[in-house]
Amino acid sequence: MALHFERSEFDARRDRLMIEMAEKKLDAILLFAQESMYWLTGYDTFGFCFFQCLAVKADGSMVLLTRSADLRQARQTSIIDDIVLWTDRNGANPAVDLRNLLNELDLLGARIGVEYDTHGLTAYNGRRLDEQLQTFGQIADASGIVGRLRLFKSPAEIARAEKAANLSDDALDAALPLIKQGGDEALILAAMQGAIFAGGGDYPANEFIIGSGVDALLCRYKSGRRKLTKNDQLTLEWAGVFNHYHAPMMRTVLTGKVSKRHQELFDAARAALLAVEKAMTPGNSFGDVFDAHARTMEAHGLTKHRLNACGYSVGARFTPSWMDMPMFYQGNPEPIAPNMTLFAHMIIMDSDTETAMTLGRTYLTTESQPKPLSRHDLDLIVQ
């Protein structure tokens, strides 16, 4: 069995979920998010692109409904003992199989929570699920229950986050010698991902962001590569990943001379990130962290060039995104608490002058000031 955590760790997670279910008076919860299944059982697959569900009863017993392709995957990577298969066939409706399974579990008429808000349950499958359950029991939206439990990291999870952060640093170290006039984005990207693989890491839950020239102003991955020029800007957002735990970083690296505008934007980004660090303490909220970012950007006259969020929780995530909830945005009341792993990014995109500047790293929250998980400093990098 290829488990990344001790059985006692999974038992503790199950017990936390059972407490939440009892408080919300749920007789069962239907989990569709792959990260929920991974956190609770170790189950590791990309098979969630098809219909699958982990049914958890109030007594902690679990049954996985999945396809034949994931039978051995579940047996090999998880603590799940009870696995039921639905059959690929013309006209198959796995929601019917799930209803039949729930009936066998004596849940007819029960109060059942459903994890709707996830990429693991498409709108199409969600509609089929509702059709089968609308007369079966009392259905409640249980989205976010496991997600909030995952927000608070155990010592074993923190160790994975720290390893992921080391891999993030390794990726930057591998990239820097290649960032120069004539440097090829393709080779830079290959060096970064290669360093993470060589260090025992995983694929990230979403593609790395890489873009130079005017494409340095983009906040998403796109296809296509170019070579760097004498005075260029290269925006990178990447994450070291270990056992699916992510530790993102973000930098805009310059080649040649530093323009006045680049220096202005960097000074603002650094000041904003330091203000965010001061706010990332117990007693403040995620909204307070965003406000610290926004105030600094406003003081530098950059409100129209900033984004409307400046970071988010990170942990074990699966395709299509390593972004987790909650996020740093205006008015978010979620309190900052110890043992969270949070990614803060300062992103300034001045489209008027086609000037980009970013600065970001992952933190572990504590009883006081957050601990940066990167060994790199916050100086402007000029190659």
Which pLDDT tens digit goes with each residue over 206-224? 999 999 999 999 999 999 9
User: What is the model's pTM?
Assistant: 0.96
Q: pLDDT digit string (tens) for 100-152? A: 999 999 999 999 999 999 999 999 999 999 999 999 999 999 999 999 999 99
Give the angle subtended at the CA of 263 by the CAs of 259 and 269, to the nearest 5°. Answer: 140
**Cβ contact 348:358 at 8 Å:** yes
Looking at residue 79, the DSSP 8-state letter turns out to be -
Q: pLDDT-based confidence at 1, cuts 50/70/90?
A: low
Strand, helix or coil at 158? Answer: helix
Residues 266-307 have pLDDT tens digits of 999 999 999 999 999 999 999 999 999 999 999 999 999 999
Q: Parallel, antiparallel, or unpaired: how do β-strands 371-372 and 111-114 relate?
A: unpaired
Residues 297, 299: Cα–Cα separation, whole Å: 5
Domains annotated for the chain, with CATH where assigned, are 7-150 (3.40.350.10), 152-382 (3.90.230.10)
Q: Can you read off the two tokens belonging to residue 300?
A: 């530098």
How many CB atoms within 10 Å of residue 88?
Answer: 11
Q: Number of helices (H) and strands (E), helices first, in the chain?
A: 10, 14
CA pair distance 208, 221, nearest whole angstrom:
6
Please enumerate in sequence order all residues whose Cβ is within 8 A of that of 380, keeping only pairs 6 or more positions apart, or say none: 254, 258, 262, 263, 266, 270
Q: Which residues have C-beta within 8 Å of that of residue 200, sequence separation ≥ 6?
A: 167, 242
